[in-house]
Amino acid sequence: MAFIQVENVTKRYGKNYILKDINLEVNKGECAVIIGANGCGKTTLLSILAGSNKASSGKIIIDGVNAISNSKSFDKMIGYIPQENPLLEGLSVRDNLKFWYVGTNRNMEEDLKSGAPAIFGVTKFLDKKVEQLSGGMKKRLSICAALAKNPPILILDEPGASLDIVCKQEIKEYIERYMAVGGTVILASHEDYEINLATKMYLLNDGVLKEVAVGSHNEIMRGLAR
């Protein structure tokens, strides 16, 4: 069995099926990239895989445990970086980090010296309030928040959207290093530089997920646009 095994996941709002019998397998050290047109259901799928949205039916088995019936698995195993930042806007960066480090076995002060907050440059604005940060700074902090518990799986929803090239590159390099030490990644993206991280690729179209060849995304998306 794969490290992450998704079986027949569906999602419907009323009679409207957004996701139909989704099957997906991802192993340690792999990066599964999900491509598809705007509105095809990528965010819905990732939020379900991260445990922040409920499937209508199906199984999500993570390291042998069905996370849908053991929701603590999602918390323990997954760092989720949604499109909209999950930060507490009125609090400082330091207090936001403290919030995310509570209950983890990580030492925040150590990470401020050499962990993700140091790597992503978040330590330069620890005393600023989140509401005073730029979009890029908030994204960096959101990533550090998701990484606070040192999760074995990262789920990222278009992480580089609207960021500058330096920040995009930093995120890409971090993901590469994370995969190299066995981290597992599921990523939705429209951007080549992120899609190129894929070790496997899936197309979501009309609620149906299909595995496609790595590197075939431009051709596929041109086909969908016709």
Ligand X SMILES: Nc1ncnc2c1ncn2[C@@H]1O[C@H](COP(=O)(O)OP(=O)(O)OP(=O)(O)O)[C@@H](O)[C@H]1O
With a CB cutoff of 8 Å and minimum separation 6, the contacts of 146 are: 79, 80, 81, 100, 154
Q: Tell whether residue 207 is a contact of ligand X (CB under 6 A).
A: no
Q: Tell whether residue 40 is a contact of ligand X (CB under 6 A).
A: yes
Provide, for the chain, the percentages of residues in helix, strand and coil under a 3-state DSSP scheme, each rounded to the nearest 5: 35, 25, 35
User: In Å, what is the CA distance from 124 to each residue of 100, 142, 178?
Assistant: 18, 15, 23
The tokens for 100 are: 């995310």
Closest approach, Cβ 207 to ligand X, in A, equals 9
Of the candidate spans 36-44, 57-65, 193-201, 210-218, the one that interacts with ligand X by CB under 6 A turns out to be 36-44
Closest approach, Cβ 44 to ligand X, in A, equals 3
The 43-82 contact track toward ligand X, x by CB under 6 A, reads: xx--------------------------------------
Closest approach, Cβ 223 to ligand X, in A, equals 17
Q: Tell whether residue 41 is a contact of ligand X (CB under 6 A).
A: yes
Q: Tell whether residue 160 is a contact of ligand X (CB under 6 A).
A: no
Residue 181 is given by DSSP the state T
Assess contact for 75 and 108: CB atoms under 8 A: no
Q: List phi, psi (to 5°) of 137.
A: -65, -40
Q: Tell whether residue 13 is a contact of ligand X (CB under 6 A).
A: yes
Of the candidate spans 33-41, 103-111, 162-170, 175-183, the one that interacts with ligand X by CB under 6 A turns out to be 33-41
Closest approach, Cβ 88 to ligand X, in A, equals 23
- C-alpha–C-alpha distance, residues 172 and 98, integer Å: 25
Closest approach, Cβ 101 to ligand X, in A, equals 29
* Angle ∠(187,190,191) on CA atoms, nearest 5: 95
- C-alpha–C-alpha distance, residues 42 and 29, integer Å: 21
Residue 225 is given by DSSP the state H
Of the candidate spans 39-47, 139-147, 191-199, 213-221, the one that interacts with ligand X by CB under 6 A turns out to be 39-47
Among 5, 22, 26, 36, binds ligand X (CB under 6 A): 36
Task: Please give the residue whose beta carbon sits closest to ligand X in the complex.
Answer: 43
Residues that bind ligand X in the complex, under the rule CB under 6 A: 13, 18, 36, 38-44
